[in-house]
Amino acid sequence: MAGNSSGRGTPVVALAMGDPAGISPELTAKLLALDEVRTVATLLVVGDCRVLKDGARVAGGALDVDIIGAEAPLPESHTRPVLIDLGHLDPATIGRGEVTRAGGLFAKENFLSALALAKAGAADAVVFTPFNKSAMKLAVPTYDDEISFIANAIGFKGEAREFNVLDGLWNARITSHVSLAAVPGLLSVPVIVRGLELTHAAMSAAGFSPPRIAVAALNPHAGDNGNFGREEIDIIAPAVAEAKARGIVCDGPYPADTVFVRARSGQFDAVLTMFHDQGQIAMKLIGFDQGVTLLGGFPVPITTPAHGTAYDIAGKGIANIGASRNAVMLAARMGREAVRAGAMPRISLTDARAALQLNAVPRAA
């Protein structure tokens, strides 16, 4: 993927509409109405105009966007957000709060299109409003998580990680969607050092200079000098020492039940945890409806609100915009590093999709 700019000095953010049965449509509409979002980024929204209009109706606002088709060249400059209308879903055919293959296909096509725009150099960052993993699985039987999906879609051979970001505090993790029983066997000095390197690189791209990273222990009380396990002695502490020798500002291992207290007090900018819930529980308690998930390590930043599709409140117009707003602001801040002088390439989404060798953009019925 290559960065580009609209010629206005703001990063271009490709915004993919997520699951249509949840709060994604109204979140997308609310984002487009935020002056601060429109100021920091040029938005290219990918979805269906009918779904977005319904989202605006639920949100109680009007749409102020330019609308083009998938085969139209992207405009050279923008004064308003641009909606690339795929015309691929009538919202009347989707029940609110229902997991469907059609909803998964809608989100999948939008996301692939946003990735294609980034790959073609027409976007500096990608944001997506929430997916429903069950619907995505119905649409893509091989779907596991967003990281593997993105890597397969763009042919990425490097290493990417998921980060959670909230009020300037970052959480990274060594293992993610695996059973708790498998975690100890997946820890090693090289793996943890690599996790620290990726965290350092992602945070540096977001403006930390240098990021200060705390490393969480695996066992209670950081193993209590080996009484509760030796992972801290044999693996985690040596990894921290090696990362320090490579110039990374880090320390630990610290007991997981106090490390976030220290980070929130300002001693650290990030906590590297050993497994999924070790960090997720802490971050979501700090601010469930404000947190951002960053998929870091890819050629462009990719962000999404940390919460889900909220089927229980879909259509009520009460969805909190905070996390989605934060996701765009973070993507714009990181994408700004890729902005270069010159106009956006005059490429169409259809051409971008073809160049990425993905499935053809669906035509309206």
In a domain, 155, yes or no: yes
pLDDT at residue 4, rounded to an integer: 43
Q: Does the pLDDT at position 362 exceed 80?
A: no
pLDDT band of residue 316 (cuts 50, 70, 90) is very high
What is the arithmetic mean of pLDDT over 256-265?
96
Residue at 82 is within a domain: yes
Do 203 and 145 sit in the same domain of this protein?
no
**In contact, 327 and 304? CB cutoff 8 Å:** yes
Position 233 in a domain: yes
Residue 336 pLDDT > 50, yes or no?
A: yes
pLDDT value at 8 more than 60: no
The pLDDT score that the predictor gives to residue 7 is: 45
For 174, the token pair is 């060594």
Q: Is pLDDT above 90 for 356? A: no
Q: What is the pLDDT of residues 106-159, one digit of tens each?
A: 999 999 999 999 999 899 999 999 999 999 999 999 888 899 899 989 989 988
pLDDT, tens only, 154-196: 989 988 889 999 988 999 999 988 999 999 999 999 999 999 9
Instruction: Mark out the alpha helices in 63-100 (DSSP H runs).
Output: none
Look at residues 131, 133, 239 and name the one whose alpha carbon lies nearest to residue 177: 133
State which of 224, 254, 282 marks the end of a domain. Answer: 282
**Same-domain status, 172 and 103:** no
Phi, psi of 179 (to 5 degrees): -70, 150
Shared-domain flag, residues 114 and 45: yes
Diameter of the chain by CA atoms? 66
Query: At which of 238, 258, 282 does a domain end?
Result: 282
In a domain, 252, yes or no: yes
User: Could you tell me if 172 and 52 lie in one domain?
Assistant: no
Q: How many residues does the chain have?
A: 365
3-state secondary structure of 286: helix
Residues with Cβ within 8 Å of residue 143, at least 6 apart in sequence: 133, 136, 137, 149
Residues 48 and 181 in one domain: no
Instruction: Say yes or no to pLDDT of 341 above 50.
Output: no
Per-residue confidence (pLDDT) for residue 97, from 0 to 100: 95
The mean pLDDT of 201-230, rounded to a whole number, is 95
Tell whether 292 is covered by a domain. no
Q: Is the pLDDT of residue 223 over 60?
A: yes
Q: How confident is the model at residue 364 (pLDDT cuts 50, 70, 90)?
A: very low
Q: Please say which residue of 282, 312, 344 terminates a domain.
A: 282
Contact (CB, 8 A) for 64 and 28 = no
pLDDT of residue 1: 56
Tell me, what's the pLDDT at 357?
52
Residues 6+ apart with CB under 8 A from 265: none
State residue 363's pLDDT score: 37
Q: Which CATH number characterizes residue 65's domain?
A: 3.40.718.10
First to last CA, the chain: 32
Q: Which residues pair with 126 in a beta bridge?
A: 14, 302
Number of structural domains in the chain:
2
Q: Which of the two residues, 361 and 240, has the higher pLDDT score?
A: 240
Same domain flag for 59 and 140: yes
Distance, in Å, from the CA atom of 182 to the CA atom of 160, rounded to the nearest integer, reads: 20
Q: How far is CA 163 from CA 15, 84, 283, 296, 311, in A?
A: 19, 29, 11, 7, 24
Average pLDDT over residues 290-312: 93
Q: Are 23 and 319 in contact (CB under 8 A)?
A: yes
* Shared domain check, 111 and 56: yes
User: Strand, helix or coil at 302?
Assistant: strand
Q: What is the pLDDT of residues 61-104, one digit of tens each?
A: 889 999 999 999 998 777 789 999 999 999 999 999 999 999 99
The secondary element (H helix, E strand) that includes residue 113 is: helix 101-119
Q: Is residue 211 part of a domain?
A: yes
Q: What is the pLDDT of residue 345?
A: 67
- pLDDT tens readout for residues 113-124: 999 999 998 999
151 and 21 in a common domain:
yes
Residue 338 lies in a domain: yes
pLDDT band for position 360 (cuts 50, 70, 90): very low
Return d(Cα 311, Cα 22) in angstroms, integer: 5
Q: How far is CA 255 from CA 147, 216, 220, in A?
A: 28, 6, 7
Read off the pLDDT of each residue in 24-52 and give the average, rounded to a whole number.
96
Taking 80 as the threshold, does the pLDDT of residue 330 lie above it?
yes
Q: Are residues 203 and 231 in the same domain?
A: yes
Of all residues in the chain, the percent with pLDDT exceeding 90 is: 76
Residue 243 confidence class, pLDDT cut points 50, 70, 90:
very high
Which residue reads 């020798």 in tokens?
245
- Average of per-residue pLDDT across 211-238: 97
Q: Are residues 27 and 58 in the same domain?
A: yes
Whole-number pLDDT of residue 177: 84
188, two tokens: 């090693």
In a domain, 76, yes or no: yes
Instruction: Answer yes or no: do 219 and 137 share one domain.
Output: no
Domain interval for residue 144 = 12-159+298-355
Are 16 and 153 in the same domain?
yes
